[in-house]
A and B are shown apart, each in its own frame.
Chain A
Amino acid sequence: GAGVSQSPSNKVTEKGKDVELRCDPISGHTALYWYRQSLGQGLEFLIYFQGNSAPDKSGLPSDRFSAERTGGSVSTLTIQRTQQEDSAVYLCASSLDLPAAVTDTQYFGPGTRLTVL
Chain B
Amino acid sequence: AQSVTQLGSHVSVSEGALVLLRCNYSSSVPPYLFWYVQYPNQGLQLLLKYTSAATLVKGINGFEAEFKKSETSFHLTKPSAHMSDAAEYFCAVSSYSSASKIIFGSGTRLSIRP
Contacts and interface: CB of A to CB of B under 8 A. Distances in A.
A71 interface: no
B100 A31 contact: yes
B51 A59 contact: no
Range of interface residues on B (Cβ < 8 Å): 20 to 34
Residue from the set A31, A99, A101 with the largest chain B CB neighbour count within 10 Å: A99
Range of interface residues on A (Cβ < 8 Å): 20 to 34
A102 interface: yes
Contacts of B107: 41-42
Interface of A: 3-4, 31, 33, 35, 40-45, 48, 50, 56, 58-59, 91, 93, 98-102, 105-106, 108-111
16 contacts: A45-B103, A56-B100, A91-B43, A93-B44, A99-B34, A99-B94, A99-B102, A100-B32, A100-B49, A100-B51, A100-B96, A101-B99, A105-B49, A106-B46, A108-B36, A109-B43
Interface of B: 6, 9, 32, 34, 36, 41-46, 49, 51, 53, 90, 92, 94-96, 99-107
